[in-house]
């Protein structure tokens, strides 16, 4: 079983435009859709679509539209009751797949609510193979929250803790590299921009921009290797249409997929992580976990809104794996 924690879940509304976004103008949408979202929720949705057991842990009132959406879509969840409404995020997608996102901050979580949410996660993650800590943090939650949760999971499992994956950005992601090894995840899932920031924080000597890392997979692998040397178990770095790089202590690989017509990139990175975890749960080797990650990400980009693919909608056989140098 794979348990996800989404501390700042959302109702994700996707507005499809018939032409490029025009600032200051009136435009009529061609379609509008909405899904229960947040990175961890999206991972659980993708796992459910492929028949894998999962539980999404999140805050939210019983009548909140986010929880209602999870019920309607058959995603198992455990919610910490709060009185404030969860946030709504809006994604504007253009015909060529360019996406503009507007994310609300979310409700404030008090220290007592944070402790209760951790307790709920500890309870529901017993026997889990993976725990995914994903997304932004709501107001009131310290940046090292995920590192704290990681240490708590490991300290209460007597050596039988699940593998822990972190997919976040900004200060919460940077905090995943701070402190001792007990707070570092087994897997980090940055995009190219986040990888550049992480590599700099890990002391990587060669500064690179996101565009440079996407254009040069060897540089991306070297940057990810610097993060692994800091104590993280593995780095799965998604590089947009250029594929993804996986670096572990044992090797580095690039995976690419033939071009797809991008409809919406919302949730593509979350689907990539779900594909990796799906393959890992089936005992696949690291390179094959990467293969499924890229297949899932490509399938998600070809689907409308924040729709997540099932495994039968992916094409892992179309993915090319190339071994890379990591230093």
12 is catalytic: no
- CA separation for the pair 151, 141 (Å, rounded): 16
Paired residues of 247 in beta bridges? 235, 252
What is the CA angle 186-239-88, rounded to 5? 80
Question: pLDDT value at position 327?
Answer: 67
Neighbours of 81 (CB within 10 A): 12
Lowest-confidence region among 27-36, 56-65, 256-265, 270-279: 256-265
Query: How does pLDDT run across 113-127, given as a tens digit for each residue?
Result: 999 999 999 999 999
3-state secondary structure of 152: helix
**Contact assessment for residue 10 and residue 87, using Cβ atoms and an 8 Å cutoff:** yes
Query: What is the SS3 assignment for 144?
Result: coil
What pLDDT was estimated at residue 310? 92
Question: How confident is the model over 217-258, as pLDDT tens digits?
Answer: 999 999 999 999 989 999 999 998 899 999 999 999 999 999
- H or E element, residue 223: helix 217-229
174, containing H or E segment: helix 170-175
Mapped onto helix, strand or coil, the DSSP state of residue 288 is helix
- pLDDT tens sequence across 148-167: 999 999 988 666 789 999 99
Q: What is the torsional sign of CA 177, 39, 12, 91?
A: positive
Residue pair 166/7 in contact by the 8 Å Cβ criterion = no
Separation CA 299–CA 304 (nearest Å): 10
Alpha-carbon span 120 to 118, nearest angstrom: 5
Q: Where are the beta strands (DSSP E) in the chain?
A: 2-6, 10-16, 31-37, 54-59, 77-80, 87-93, 99-102, 130-134, 163-167, 187-188, 234-238, 244-248, 252-256, 320-324
207, pLDDT greater than 90: no
Catalytic residue from among 12, 144, 167, 270 = 270
pTM for the whole structure: 0.93
Report the C-alpha gap between 192 and 56 in whole angstroms.
26
CA distance 321 to 217: 12
pLDDT at res. 115: 98
pLDDT by residue (tens digit) across 254-292?
Answer: 999 998 888 877 788 999 999 999 999 999 999 999 999
- Nearest by Cα to 243 from 310, 318, 311, 186: 318
Ramachandran quadrant class, 2 (left: phi over 0; alpha: psi -120 to 50; beta: rest): beta
């Amino acid at each position: 079983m794979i348990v996800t924690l989404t501390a700042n879940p959302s109702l994700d509304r996707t507005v499809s435009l018939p032409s490029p976004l025009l600032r200051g103008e009136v435009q009529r949408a061609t379609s509008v859709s909405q899904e229960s979202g947040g990175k961890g929720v999206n991972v659980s949705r993708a796992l459910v679509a492929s028949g894998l057991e999962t539980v999404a842990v999140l805050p939210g009132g019983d009548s909140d539209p986010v929880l209602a959406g999870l019920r309607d879509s058959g995603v198992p969840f455990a919610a910490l009751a709060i009185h404030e409404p969860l946030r709504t995020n809006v994604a504007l997608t253009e015909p060529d797949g360019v996406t503009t996102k507007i994310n609300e901050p979310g409700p404030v979580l008090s220290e007592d609510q944070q402790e209760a949410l951790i307790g709920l996660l500890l309870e529901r993650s017993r026997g889990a193979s993976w725990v995914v800590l994903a997304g932004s943090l709501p107001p009131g939650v310290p940046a090292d929250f995920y590192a704290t949760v990681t240490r708590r999971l490991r300290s209460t499992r007597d050596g039988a803790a699940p593998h822990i994956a972190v997919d976040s950005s900004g200060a919460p992601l940077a905090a995943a590299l701070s402190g001792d090894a007990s707070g570092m995840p087994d897997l980090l899932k940055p995009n190219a921009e986040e990888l550049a920031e992480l590599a700099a924080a890990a002391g990587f000597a060669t500064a690179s921009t996101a565009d440079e890392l996407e254009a040069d997979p060897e540089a991306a692998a070297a940057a990810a290797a610097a993060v692994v040397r800091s104590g993280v178990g593995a780095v799965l770095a998604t590089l947009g249409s250029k594929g993804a790089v996986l670096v572990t202590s044992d090797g580095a690989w690039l995976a690419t997929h033939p071009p797809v017509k991008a409809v919406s990139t919302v949730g593509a990175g979350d689907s990539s992580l779900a594909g990796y975890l799906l393959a890992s749960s089936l005992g696949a080797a690291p390179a094959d976990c990467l293969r499924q990650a890229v297949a899932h990400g490509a399938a998600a980009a070809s689907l409308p809104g924040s729709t997540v693919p099932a495994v039968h909608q992916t094409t892992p056989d179309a993915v090319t794996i190339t071994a890379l140098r990591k230093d």
